[in-house]
Amino acid sequence: MAGIIVVGSQWGDEGKGKVVDVFSAEADFVVRYQGGANAGHTLIVDGKKTVLHLVPSGVLHPNTKCIIAAGVVLDVATLWEEICALKANGLLESPSQLMISDSATVLTTYHRKLDAARENAAGHEKIGTTGKGIGPAYEDRAGRKALLFGDLFQPETLKAKLESALREKNFLLEKFYNVPPIQVDELMREMQRLAKELEPYRCRDTSLMIFKALKSGKKVLFEGAQGTLLDLNHGTYPFVTSSSTLAGSACVGSGIGPGLVSKVVGITKGYTTRVGSGPFPTEINDSVGELMREKGKEFGATTGRPRRCGWLDLVALRYAIRINGITNLALMKIDVLSGFEKIKVCTAYELDGQFLTEFPVTTGDLARCQPIYEELPGWKEEISGVKFMRDLPRQAQSYVDFITNELATPIDVVSVGPGRDQTLWLKPLFK
Ligand code: GDP
Ligand code: IMO
Ligand code: MG
């Protein structure tokens, strides 16, 4: 079966968008299955940059169909803006290229407002969310009161659900957070406008569509958002997002069984970044970290916030490989490491005098972990123009080999720049 999951193995922003775009040349379908517009996936083709938040990263390939499945929290206003921007650039010309599940959760103004109000009220305790309303939208889903994409096309259901939602949300906004309420009529008009615009993309049952595609031998990519350590259950809770970001979530979020998946590709930066609050054992808080941020252009694709930077953490990566069932890796951004005299790699932690090789399950423990590093020699050469592994400097090849051996997982792709053509293939994707 040709279902391949692409999942972030760190704290997000590993380069999933680039990999999915490159892989999409061979794929029939690309499915987003969780998260929402908190994601920022960057694609660079012939020097032109496209940042996607909700539309799957296969969209630059006109013959690849894009699916937004049930597990996504769909900010319908942002989606419509994204569609308009793509169309203005000559992309997504046919509505049949994008299909949205009737079961996706609609995310709207009150979710965004609540997210912002909570973060403001939290002060130093804040999570540092993207402010895109993700937590409140998933709460509605779990609370069994979410507005679904299919509801947008049933005016009576839509009105009833909006009225009911606003009774509660406006109470919270006004009385608890001291924020102006939202007018139901205004929101109803806005939702009906967006429903009209988005109707051509409506596909009631995307689960069935994906199932049929896989059964008939089509190639399907499942595009993860965020990263392993932001997972709601297995990440650095509470400094996580509100969805499950693991590979298993591809099945749950898109409504297919695990038996239909043949490969899980973990996208891994050659170093580590994190946006928002929470522990980060290998974070570098000096000029080396600043240099990494500058060279790697490590600023959020969604919020523009500077990303915290640090060395590669093999303890965290072994954990990611285990809990996602990662079968293959794509190693990204190693060009950013050119010019560093020494490259450090964390191979274990020290916790309260104990030597640790497994990632701790509690965030409090992780916050007290000290990284134990191995130092590898760096390389001076610029490598962003290199086309084959054999042409990488010896030290860069050793870095890749070291990671492969330590993680006991094959690296299929090495990326040496943001462009599509800056990709070194070690193995074919779909056999
Ligand atoms: P995503 O959220 O995982 O899709 O990653 P982002 O798009 O948020 O961040 C990755 C950033 O690195 C983007 O600006 C990409 O254009 C860029 N990028 C991806 N691969 C490479 C690479 O190999 N080298 C460099 N220098 N940049 C890369
Ligand atoms: P992509 O798909 C990096 C982080 C936020 C914050 C936490 C919770 O581009 O890799 P949320 O808005 O989800 O409630 O924020 O999660 N976060 C991301 N960090 N990349 C992302 O997505 C992220 N999406 C959310 O910074 O720490
Ligand atoms: Mg991103």
User: Does the structure show a pLDDT above 80 at 73?
Assistant: yes
* 333 SS3 class: coil
Predicted confidence at residue 248, as pLDDT, reads 98
Mark whether 13 is an active-site residue: yes
Q: For residue 428, what pLDDT band results from cuts at 50, 70 and 90?
A: confident
Q: Could you count the other beta carbons within 10 Å of the beta carbon of residue 428? A: 8
Residue 16 Cα to ligand 1 middle (Å): 8
Mean pLDDT over the full length of the chain? 97
Q: For residue 123, what pLDDT band results from cuts at 50, 70 and 90?
A: confident
β-partners of residue 202 are 100
Residue type (1 letter), 37 = A
β-partners of residue 31 are 67, 222
Closest C-alpha to ligand 1, atom 25: 417
Predicted confidence at residue 267, as pLDDT, reads 98
Contact between 220 and 210 (Cβ < 8 Å): yes
Tell me the percentage of the chain whose pLDDT exceeds 90.
Answer: 97
What integer is the mean pLDDT of 53-67?
98
Question: In whole angstroms, what is the distance from residue 280 CA to residue 270 CA?
Answer: 16
Residue 148 Cα to ligand 2 middle (Å): 23
Query: Does the beta carbon of 16 sit less than 6 angstroms from any atom of ligand 1?
Result: yes
Q: How far is CA 196 from CA 76, 92, 137, in A?
A: 11, 17, 22
Q: Identify the burial level of 381 via C-beta atoms within 10 angstroms of its C-beta, where 0-12 means exposed, 13-18 middle and 19 or more buried.
A: middle
Q: Give the residue extent of every domain in the chain.
A: 3-102+201-263, 106-198, 269-425
Q: What angle do CA 48, 51, 56 make, to 5 degrees?
A: 115
The whole-model pTM stands at 0.98
Q: What is 106-198's CATH number? A: 1.10.300.10
Closest C-alpha to ligand 1, atom 16: 418
Q: What is 3-102+201-263's CATH number? A: 3.40.440.10
Question: In whole angstroms, what is the distance from residue 400 CA to residue 389 CA?
Answer: 10
User: Does the structure show a pLDDT above 80 at 1?
Assistant: no
User: Does the structure show a pLDDT above 90 at 319?
Assistant: yes
* 129 SS3 class: coil
Q: Which atom of ligand 1 is nearest to the CA of 41?
A: 4
What integer is the mean pLDDT of 304-313?
96
**Between 3.90.170.10, 3.40.50.510, 3.60.21.10, 3.20.20.140, what CATH number should domain 269-425 receive?**
3.90.170.10
Q: How far is CA 303 from CA 53, 271, 299, in A?
A: 11, 21, 8
